[in-house]
């Protein structure tokens, strides 16, 4: 579709809510009429499981297979064979074999653009393509950054680390300079919050100290709630599981904030400014 945005959800630290954000943000955008494709770019397959695929070994074709076809110069099958259609959104699923893909990418000339080569033709079908990334800065994450227009960084106040976030920003800056000049940092999404705690306030003070006026910190915060875990267990979004829950309302508000801000912010040197200040 015209003006389709490709967004990577990235943070090399685990447990910050990347998959939960990718899935629930996608559902929230779909519920306000946007056409959404999710891409599970993680061998842990959590996004695929959230979509309802309990045994990823049963998949006839996954992201691993189509990326391997691209690396081997093979013609891709029809999109219907590797894109799963859901009631509200679509998914390119993952499998454990994606870890093999990452190894093979090391020997591929131009391998960092393989995912981009897959996703670029799909822009015509969607308003947003949302990539869930794995929790380390390897070639799969580099592929996601090379393919995307913007990056949303979920940050848990319970696991705040300035050093970890600086490492990610360094990688984004390198990708921007060497591979993908259009990439921007959309903003930091604060997740797993309990605003009543001293820990939350201290973490927010540090986040403001490092990044305020340099990277957008989204107004919406995602609260910690057992409903997210229950929804994940039942392979449902929290918006479908309990639409009145505080996390469901937060993700709905966050989707609107993404649209309102065009999901790109800060000009061409956003990552550069943030990296230099951290």
Q: What is the pLDDT of residue 260?
A: 87
Start-to-end Cα distance in the chain: 37
CA 162, CA 149: separation in Å to the nearest integer? 24
At residue 77 the predicted structure's pLDDT band, cuts being 50, 70 and 90, is: very high
- Decide if pLDDT at 7 tops 80: yes
**Residues 247, 228 contacting (CB under 8 angstroms):** yes
* CATH assignment at residue 129: 3.40.50.300
Helix extents (H) in the chain: 18-31, 46-50, 63-71, 79-82, 98-105, 114-119, 139-147, 162-178, 198-211, 226-233, 238-241, 246-260, 270-277
Average pLDDT over residues 42-60: 91
More confident residue, 213 or 223: 223
Instruction: Reply yes or no on whether the pLDDT at 267 is more than 50.
Output: no
pLDDT tens-digit readout, 125-135: 999 999 999 98
Task: State pLDDT tens for residues 92-105.
Answer: 999 999 999 999 99
pLDDT at 265 over 60: no
Q: Which of 85, 58, 63 is CA-nearest to residue 76?
A: 63
**pLDDT score recorded for residue 195:** 82
Q: Residue 164: its pLDDT value, please?
A: 76
- Looking at the 3D structure of the chain, how many domains does it have? 1
Q: Is the separation of the CB atoms in 46 and 19 below 8 Å?
A: yes
Structural domain that includes position 43: 5-277
Inform me whether the pLDDT recorded for 81 exceeds 90: yes
Across the strands, what pairs with 91? 38, 84
pLDDT-based confidence at residue 176 (cuts at 50, 70, 90): very high
Please state, rounded to an integer, the average pLDDT across all residues of the chain.
89
The dihedral through the CA atoms of 39, 42, 48, 53 has a sign that is positive
CA neighbor of 115 nearest in space, from 162, 150, 77, 64: 64
Q: Say what percent of the chain tops pLDDT 70.
A: 93
Considering only residues 163 and 5, tell me which one the structure prediction assigns the higher pLDDT. 5
């Amino acid at each position: 579709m015209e003006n389709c945005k490709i967004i990577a959800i990235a943070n090399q630290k685990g447990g910050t809510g990347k998959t939960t954000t990718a899935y629930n943000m996608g559902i929230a955008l779909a519920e306000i009429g946007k056409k959404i494709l999710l891409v599970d770019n993680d061998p842990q397959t959590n996004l695929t499981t959230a979509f309802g695929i309990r045994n990823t070994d049963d998949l006839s074709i996954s992201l691993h297979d189509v990326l391997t076809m691209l690396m081997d110069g093979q013609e891709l099958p029809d999109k219907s064979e590797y894109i799963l259609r859901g009631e509200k959104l679509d998914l390119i699923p993952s499998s454990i074999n994606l870890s093999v893909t990452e190894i093979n990418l090391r020997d591929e000339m131009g391998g960092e653009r393989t995912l981009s080569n897959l996703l670029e033709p799909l822009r015509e079908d969607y308003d947003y393509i949302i990539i869930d990334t794995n929790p380390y800065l390897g070639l799969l994450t580099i592929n996601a950054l090379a393919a995307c227009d913007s990056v949303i960084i979920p940050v848990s106040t319970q696991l705040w680390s300035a050093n970890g976030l600086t490492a990610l920003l360094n990688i984004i800056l390198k990708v921007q300079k060497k591979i993908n000049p259009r990439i921007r940092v959309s903003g930091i999404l604060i997740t797993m919050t309990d605003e009543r705690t001293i820990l939350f306030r201290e973490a927010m003070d540090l986040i403001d100290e490092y990044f305020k006026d340099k990277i957008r910190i989204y107004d919406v915060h995602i609260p910690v709630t057992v409903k997210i875990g229950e929804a994940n267990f039942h392979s449902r979004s929290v918006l479908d599981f309990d639409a009145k829950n505080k996390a469901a309302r937060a993700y709905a508000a966050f989707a609107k904030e993404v649209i309102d801000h065009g999901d790109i912010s800060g000009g061409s040197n956003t990552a550069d400014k943030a990296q230099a200040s951290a």
